[in-house]
Amino acid sequence: MNAIIEKINRALAEAETRAAAATDKAAIEQLRIDYLGRNGLFPALSKEMGSVPAEERKETGRAFNAGRTRIQELIDGAMERSGSTAADSVTERPDLTLPGRRRMTGHKHPITMVADECVAVFRRMGFIVADGPEIEDVFHNFDALNTPQDHPSRDEQDTFYFPDGRILRTQTSPVQIRVMESHEPPVRIVAPGRVFRRDTPDATHGMNFHQIEGLYIDRNVSMADLKSVLQTFATEMFGSGVKIRLRPHFFPFTEPSVEYDFSCHMCGGKGCPVCKNSGYIEIAGAGMVDPAVLRNVGYDPEVWSGYAFGMGIERLAMLRYRIPDLRYLYENDVRFLEQF
């Protein structure tokens, strides 16, 4: 008889005595732990089975299985005599009358929430969503958009360049170029996405932020169409009382170009510190697509016309939720994020 079988026989004799004397749950649980628990006798013996000679393995394995089964029978018998159950030997029965525990789940970031809402508004106006790469080439980010070679935005102090000449896109406008290159007009898209600029982070600026831009190309598109879309968007986002105003400006890719403002929803246009007592808050830029941009993508400006607009999603989030500092959106402070 080998050593493992001898240990099993001694354990069975000992377990018989302990099971007969066990009258409470603690003693029965200790019996289970000593013989069948993670660090008990039988798990330890199973690790020794590999050292048993080949001619003895069959007999030893049979004795091992029989012994483990007998130990379990002794434990079950002891629990039955004491009025316990297998569940009682490990832990108390759960109280099914207690209320359930609500699982903590995450939720969307405020920037994502505002971006989704913007997209939903424009979709209701017939726009479809387009996307493009965040690592761009100079042609799509600058050249095709009619940006002069000496424009400050091309400088390395303003734009992140890779050694191979590619860049991190500074705006989502390259998406418009890529869509026009691959689609015949009419085109009606919005392009939400992340952009990058070499700005010093402060309360209203960051090196990484988000934009949503729109483009509509068709026959006989006018500035009145653009104003109508911007007014509808402002109303959907900030309520029926909001107004917009357009101010002349210059952008290389639109002509004429405008900056557009929304009436301050904090004071209703009466003037307050938020709007610097002007009654309006600057949102972003827009304008009629420059004919040079249309020619760059193969569109005939004598046939097709259109408008483009863009705005910062962080700016909209700050206005919507009255956030005083853009950096709050990126610090991942749970106390701040839980408010949304």
Q: Can you spell out the DSSP letters for 217-283?
A: EETT--HHHHHHHHHHHHHHHH-TT--EEEEEEEETTEEEEEEEEEEPTTTTTS--TTTTTSSEEEE
- In this predicted structure, the answer to whether residue 89 has a pLDDT above a threshold of 60 is no
Residue 213 is classified by DSSP as E
Instruction: Give the domain ranges of the chain.
Output: 3-90, 110-337
* pLDDT bracket for residue 286 (50, 70, 90): very high
Q: Which amino acid is at 340?
A: F
Backbone angles phi, psi at 103, to 5 degrees: -75, 135
Judged by phi (left if over 0) then psi (alpha if -120 to 50, else beta), residue 293 lies in: alpha
User: Does the bond joining 324 to the residue before it have cis omega, within 30 degrees of 0?
Assistant: no
Q: What is the pLDDT of residue 167?
A: 95
Average pLDDT over residues 282-292: 92
pLDDT on residue 64: 85
Of residues 204 and 200, which shows the higher confidence score? 200
Indicate the pTM of the whole model. 0.66
CATH topology for 110-337 is BirA Bifunctional Protein; domain 2 (3.30.930)
Strands 128-129 and 187-196: parallel
Q: Are 191 and 131 in contact (CB under 8 A)?
A: yes
Average pLDDT, integer, range 185-189 = 95
Cα 19 to chain center, whole Å? Answer: 56
pLDDT at 294 over 90: yes
How many Cα atoms sit within 13 Å of 228 on the Cβ side?
A: 7
Rounded to the nearest integer, the mean pLDDT of the chain is 87
Residue 90 has pLDDT above 60, yes or no: no
Q: Flag whether pLDDT at 77 surpasses 60.
A: yes
Q: What is the pLDDT of residues 235-255, one digit of tens each?
A: 998 888 888 899 999 999 999
Task: For residue 65, give the amino acid letter.
Answer: N
**How far is 236 from 42, CA to CA, in rounded Å?**
70
Work out the percent of the chain whose per-residue pLDDT is above 90: 43
The pLDDT of residue 254 is: 94
**Contact status, residue 210 vs residue 181, Cβ threshold 8 Å:** no
DSSP string, 112-136: HHHHHHHHHHHHHTT-EE----SEE
Instruction: Tell me the pLDDT tens digit for each residue of 210-232.
Output: 999 999 999 999 999 999 999 99
> What value does the mean pLDDT take over residues 61-75?
88
Segment among 20-29, 150-159, 302-311 with least mean pLDDT: 20-29
d(CA 145, CA 76): 81
